[in-house]
Structure 1
Amino acid sequence: METRYREKTAFTTPYGLYQFKVKPFGLFNAPGTIQRLMETSLRGLVGSKCLVYLEDMTETFCRITKEHTTRLQDVLDHLRKVGLKVKPEKCQLMKRKVAYLGHIISEKGIATDPSKTRAVKEWQAPSCVSELRQFLGLASYYRKFVNGFASIAAPLHRLLEGDAEWKWTEDCQVAFDALKHQLTSAPILAYPDFRRRFLVDVDASGDGLGAVLSQKDGSKERVVAYASRSLTKPERRYCVTRREMLRLVCALREFRPYLYGQRVLVRTDHSCLRWLRNFKEPEGQVARCLLSLAELDFEVEHRPGRLHGNADALSRTTPSGSAVVAQTLRDQLLTVQQADPEIQLLRQWVTSGSWPTLCSHEYCRDLNMTWQQGPIWIVQEDLICRHRDVLTADEGATQVLVPRALRSEIMRCLHNSRYVGHLGERQTLSRIRSRFYWLGMSGDVHLWCRTCTQCAARKGPSKNSRALMQPMTAGIPLQRVGMDILGPLEKTPSGN
């Protein structure tokens, strides 16, 4: 990058500001610039001897080795003329098949890249009946394309019987792996046919987002690609409508190379999305959502949840690596909670299922107040947590109980950190309250914000102070003369 533009790529870290010397990922105009550079550099070769998409190049296939070598030499000569270099470690020469833009290109044709079905391939073995039902819901939706589906899935269906004991055997694992293989192999994943209409099935749950891109082949639906991802911490607090809207945006962005310039049918089990484009004056997140989707031509169709099992199952399968609480902070909280005798006593009350009718520890204010709140405490991922509101408590609406030893660290991270920006007392309290809880939290946050030296140094005075009036001294008579203009005045009856 030119020196004068480097400061525009600056980013902040705990160790100061840094800026890029070469083009980083994520710049808005970078893809167009690179594509223009590559097409200009390989002018006369693109489309006839090679294909170019950004920095990815592939030479068109030749049946004769000599012809292949000649085309390769032409490409390298053009790159040498403009001063571009290729990295040998990233080059694949004389291959019968290569991975290019999500496809496996070979002499036999174009096949689907296995990485596109990662959401299904990385599906972990179910650990309970609920997770098994989610997987079978997805598999059953495409059972028309799986040969011998009933016999393959028989060991799994036996676990769903009313009086069956949950025991994951080797037969269950074999059936599970076989169904995953059938779901991710032909003819499940079909080639996209741009002469036909694309179907996008979207769904969102409290844990993740799921989408399926498919096309109709006669009376059947053939899957082109799967997509799913877990929700971030802020996204988990979205209402159902906002999560469904987020899934729609993510799905259409994910499948944009297929959908751009096509008339698309989006199917969802949330009827509110049908009116997404009918807002007269959209604001906030709805306006940003509509702006990001303006380039695509799509219509939304409502489908009952019982017919929406393909996308629903993907949304409820969270990829590995997601966690409600960051692993390092979770381990720290768990260690300190286990070392706190009051919290350990509370853990005994919760795990035993019998809440004491009388607290015998009146000398301990925190424990006594905790006992008075009643049995609203739960154990979640080995952490003692509290429902934010007993009457409206739903999945995810919990607060982790913070021991005394970590309260200052929590307030420092959510107020003093450079990524937070020293928010005011009300916003800081709202941030902490959304995830954590301890007795006297409001007072502690109030004192922390009032005693923050950086906030005090940057805060202006609340009122403009007036200087005290002082008489002006003079050394000799008539040294200072004050004048004022008055008039014209009306004459008095006496003529004055």
Structure 2
Amino acid sequence: MDAERSMTPLAEQMMLFRHNIPAPSQMGPGLGRSSYIDDIAHGAAPWGQLCDDLDALLYRDTCYPKIVKGIQELPFPSTLNGVQSFLGSLNYYHKFIEAYVMVAASLYKLTVDQVHAGRDLIRAKESSEILKRKIVSTPLLRHPDRTIPFMIIPHANQWASCAVLGQIHDGLVQPVRFAGRVLNGAEFKYHIAEKEVLAVMRALHVFKNLVEGCPLIIYTRHSVLKWVINFKTTEGRLVP
């Protein structure tokens, strides 16, 4: 018993895993299965108690109006480090925000002198307000259904190219995932149609595992398709 206790995987004070494997006494079948479960399972004898425990766990993820209001009233940062901290706080949530890189591009381009002097910040402040609205009202992503066609909707501006992967449910286009990136180098000089093609190529690269082998529809302007057909010098540079 003492030997097993000394091998417990949890540190008593830190509540952290001390070892990579559980103690021998803890390696019995989990949930009636012999396969190893590399997570912490929880159970309860009565069904009602299990539901109560789950409600208590999910309660911590409840949306609190005060927190939402605090985000909406967050002032524009007064330093470049503050701007970077704001963008860093969105590192996880950006995957749920449509056209995130297009909106945030003007914030990424800010310099220390601009923020310190408070000049040329109109577009950056507008982007900050848009992101704050999006973070509290972001659309729910739909789980992909490989039995129905996917669609890619590209869009681009002078700073970034983005794309939406979606599917039609109940007659409406529902987003499945978002993708995009800030343009760099010679890409800033690309024609707007070429930037949209870049967005499509990016989407095909990022969503390959989802769309491979499934019907795929790409929605774009006729002028973009016409440009792709007529332009003769894009070989190689649009390949991700």
Q: TM-score, normalised by structure 1?
A: 0.25
Q: Which has the greater radius of gyration?
A: 1
Which TM-score applies when normalising by structure 2? 0.48
Q: Which has the higher contact order (CA 8 A, sep 6+)?
A: 2
